[in-house]
Structure 1
């Protein structure tokens, strides 16, 4: 800023303001190991945009005032999402586009609704669905993926493949489900073949008392003969424990989510 270096992070601050300025530059959502909470309101507003509570639960908190000035001036903000200790995923630009004093929060557009939706004004349903879908693509999915990849050291939980470009962050319970939270505890790092098999109920994960889970392959697939990919890629993992799980127990898959998904796998078989 004017030839000076401006830090975008500051210890203990959830809104960063440059020294000598009065307008927010950065929103910061710190990392919380094992948290089931999303860093934003799970329920979008009527137009599909995100909500951010007042800092310090006060409209007059210095950080709240800095966000309000950013809104008034149309400032482009950077939103930093903690995906691990001292590790952040940046989103830019984001805009504070409205305020809801009765709810104690601001309305934030992660760069998807500019020009065709207004805070608090319900658009046509197809437009709202578009905004929600774009927010998920631009924000939810990258944050979820980065968190899961870090927790699993960028390795497939089933086969331990290390090539990150061939890995997905798979939801245990789909994100469209009310319990499908965008949390590392609802995630598994999987290579693309095992992710596809998991989603198709060809591969299931049976929770076990002394660990995270054991791989099971659908019975009819075990009887097929279709070359080395089926033999080694799927059948060979039957009844084998997961090869890679997070070191931090607080980041391992939630047992209740694994149990629910395993029941669906059994029902599909």
Structure 2
């Protein structure tokens, strides 16, 4: 149908996803993705069976997909970060001329934006867009993928300076890892604050137990807690601690302080109480060793 229709689909798909996910704050189910229409007719944004979506009306791939896998399980394709800080997306199979690999190559050659559907649960995805394919690494059967942070900064085969690598890692964490981490953690906690059970997703954050800037600060649900804005700020500032036994403690000097109802009920009232919400799946509950690391800092601060 031509370049104009291709551009229309990509533009309208991203606009629609922005509206349906509240500007990326919420994930979307595979069922809800079927609601997308272009020129009044249904148009699939993601392939139900394949990782790469290449509609017959377009000359290049429209989207890619990474399936959800629970912590500790291996994904069927190992999409990893390279030494330059950039992400890799594996070919479909081993044949470079497979139709889906050719569709990705066309998107790369034409500089077309893709949508990356990143699985956070079975049938639930966090869409990341736009992402671009920068170059191909045939020896590793993969493409170099960029969440729109590195174009013009890096080139294939060139050594990437440490300051550029740090920039790429930081921006990729913000544009890809943080939205996926947030969606995964809020899903595990059923969109409720672990400390007070507040249910409004727009008032919740995914807090790291060990900060993500540290080696142990993995972007996995077992290193996360769903916390409301107040309790997240209290946790980050070491006003509030959570023991390895999932008991909330408030810093001793605040327990002696007299202030308004938020301090009295929102913080002091939670002292000595167990978390009100934990994930149903044991594999997704807070990691005890990570809690011990963070709780030791809280105790030292108090």
Same fold by TM-score, threshold 0.5 exceeded? yes
Deviation at 1:215, TM superposition (A): 0.7
Q: Which residue of 2 aligns with 1:237?
A: 270
Deviates more, 1:88-97 or 1:98-107: 98-107
| Structure 2 counterparts to residues 202-213 of structure 1, below 5 A | 202-208=239-245, 213=246
Deviations 1:79-136 (A, max 9, x none): 1111223221212221111122333322101112223332443455433333222212
CA distance in 2, matches of 1:75, 1:68: 10
CA distance in 1, matches of 2:44, 2:52: 12
| Structure 2 counterparts to residues 38-49 of structure 1, below 5 A | 40-41=79-80, 43-46=81-84, 48-49=85-86
Deviations 1:134-192 (A, max 9, x none): 21221111111111122222211101122222211101111112221212221111111
Q: Which residue of 2 aligns with 1:138?
A: 175
* 8 Å contact kept, 1:37–1:181: no
Q: Which residue of 2 aligns with 1:163?
A: 200
| Partner secondary structure for residue 145 of structure 2 | strand
Q: Which residue of 1 aligns with 2:125?
A: 88
Q: Which residue of 2 aligns with 1:266?
A: 299
Aligned length: 263
1:128 partnered with 2:165:
yes
Q: Which residue of 1 aligns with 2:115?
A: 78
* 8 Å contact kept, 2:91–2:143: yes
| Structure 2 counterparts to residues 42-121 of structure 1, below 5 A | 43-46=81-84, 48-56=85-93, 59=96, 61-121=98-158
Where in structure 1 are there 5+ consecutive unaligned residues?
Answer: none
CA distance in 2, matches of 1:267, 1:36: 35
Classify 1:120/1:235 alpha carbon distance in 2 versus 1 (closer, same or farther; 3 Å). Answer: farther
CA distance in 1, matches of 2:215, 2:140: 22
Deviates more, 1:101-110 or 1:194-203: 101-110
The normalised TM-score by structure 1 is 0.85
The normalised TM-score by structure 2 is 0.77
